[in-house]
Amino acid sequence: MMTRPLSVAVAGLGTVGAGLLTLLRDNAEIIAARAGRPIVVTAVSARDRSRDRGVSLDGLRWYEDPVALAADGQADVVVELVGGSDGPARALVEAALAAGKPVVTANKALLALHGAELARAAEATGATLAYEAAVAGGIPAIKALREGLAGNRIRRVTGILNGTCNYILTNMREQKREFADVLAEAQKLGYAEADPSFDIDGVDAAHKLAILAALAFGRPVAFGDVHVEGIRAVSALDIRLADELGYRIKLLGIAQREEGGIATRVHPCMVPASHPIARVDGVFNAVVAEGDFVGRVVLEGRGAGAGPTASAVAADLIDIARNRQTPVWGAAAAALDGEPALPMAQHHGAYYLRLMVLDRPGVIADVTATLRDHGISLESMIQRGRAPGEAVPVVLTTHDCHESAMRAALARIGALEAVLEPPALIRIESL
């Protein structure tokens, strides 16, 4: 005999919300078996009631105000798919948790900015707050880190966490085109938002990295600690030169335990072409975790879209139907660790530096002298072709050095008269 169905209230019927309704209907039987009871949407909320969403809303209770779903007496669980770190999404999640009602959300901005308070609110009433869909869409990254790898001390988590950026970088490389050109096309095709800044400036990836870092290192989520750079400054030339050096350029999120604390950063990286993450192309996402007993675990899949994201939300609903509960951040709030965050100035690593310089005697000597003055040693230098009196690219790669030294050297190099454009700097990750 089956128990009573789990009654679900869904706020937001956009890409993910409509996808969830479709998934729960198409796979109702298999889900009921796995959940031990049917999972049925009974109430919904969105702004525009008349909009055709490609799914029938017949027989569902309709709410104008998403926050009112928290008080729906018949719903066992609230699913928040509205989006935004504040506003109705936050109000709904807070109201539901305060009422002791389990919440499922796909909202990385909300979790990254307010996840610590929300976890305390969930703990206070014993309610579940589940968010598998918030990081890397269909990839079960949250479950993998929080549960599957829970026996390990995690050394590092690395991810391709934004499909829009990965799509743009992949196309720039394959089609030898510039950033602005590929972005415009991605917007036309619907792979990039009309306002793409959250994606291409690295903010969305940083939200997700903050969440992964909290889980991996058992510390309170701290978005403000993440160093964030996007992909606007990556040029087709640098992508081609990276290829020649045996690297791919990827926007990575990296959370790493180092001496003295935890470093979290999102920025374009050169990664060895042979590393599995280098071959994750297009809209695909990847999460790589390294644990002391398990070694390296690589997860790859679709990081966005109706189907993959709904797949992750459904997994959370099945857990709730089964009464499987895990603390929001893997351990109780009081058991989280206060390990300090390391600032980017303390980063230690190798660098790719590309300059456009006037081809004339002495210029390279000035550049290398400046690097030497800052204690930076060169690994390689490439100058392709000669064009006396004209601009030529010069590429330098360094041995590991400190970010602060590199920044200081770069300021001086950029000010040299023969250096014609702001230097391009990309960090090399040996991974």
The answer to whether residues 138 and 307 touch, using CB atoms and an 8 Å cutoff, is: yes
* Residue with smallest beta-carbon separation from ligand NAP: 14
Q: Which residues neighbour 18 within 8 Å (Cβ) at sequence distance 6 or greater? A: 53, 54, 55, 306
The residues in 122-141 that bind ligand NAP, with binding defined as CB under 6 A, are: 133, 137
Residue 312 or 363 having the CB closest to ligand NAP:
312
Query: 15, 128, 397, 398: which one contacts ligand NAP (CB under 6 A)?
Result: 15
Residue 94 or 403 having the CB closest to ligand NAP:
94
CB of 344 to ligand NAP, least distance (A): 26
Separation of alpha carbons 348 and 342, rounded Å: 11
Is 29 a binding residue for ligand NAP by CB under 6 A? The answer is no
CA distances to 20, 119, 378 from 322, rounded to whole Å, are 19, 21, 57
Separation of alpha carbons 119 and 92, rounded Å: 15
Separation of alpha carbons 166 and 184, rounded Å: 15
> Which tokens is 303 given?
């990081």
Residue 83 or 291 having the CB closest to ligand NAP:
83
Is 12 a binding residue for ligand NAP by CB under 6 A? The answer is yes
Residue 128 or 309 having the CB closest to ligand NAP:
309
Is 269 a binding residue for ligand NAP by CB under 6 A? The answer is no
Residue 262's SS3 state is: strand
* Stretch 67-86: interaction string toward ligand NAP, x if CB under 6 A: --------------xxx---
Is 166 a binding residue for ligand NAP by CB under 6 A? The answer is no
Separation of alpha carbons 397 and 379, rounded Å: 5
The residues in 276-305 that bind ligand NAP, with binding defined as CB under 6 A, are: 304-305
Among the listed residues 101, 143, 208, 250, the single catalytic one is 208
Number of residues binding to ligand NAP, judged by CB under 6 A: 23
Q: Examine the residue annotation and report whether 143 is marked as an active-site residue of this protein.
A: no
Is 25 a binding residue for ligand NAP by CB under 6 A? The answer is no
CB of 172 to ligand NAP, least distance (A): 22
Is 107 a binding residue for ligand NAP by CB under 6 A? The answer is yes
Among 392, 405, 390, 406, residue whose Cα is nearest residue 352: 406
The residues in 302-331 that bind ligand NAP, with binding defined as CB under 6 A, are: 304-305, 309
Query: 25, 51, 153, 384: which one contacts ligand NAP (CB under 6 A)?
Result: 51
Q: What is the DSSP string of 360-411?
A: -TTHHHHHHHHHHHTT--EEEEEE-S--TTSEEEEEEEE-SEEHHHHHHHHH
Separation of alpha carbons 382 and 385, rounded Å: 10
Is 58 a binding residue for ligand NAP by CB under 6 A? The answer is no
Residue 347's SS3 state is: coil
The answer to whether residues 202 and 230 touch, using CB atoms and an 8 Å cutoff, is: yes
Residue 45 or 256 having the CB closest to ligand NAP:
45
Binding site for ligand NAP (CB under 6 A): 12-17, 46-48, 51, 66, 81-83, 88, 106-108, 133, 137, 304-305, 309
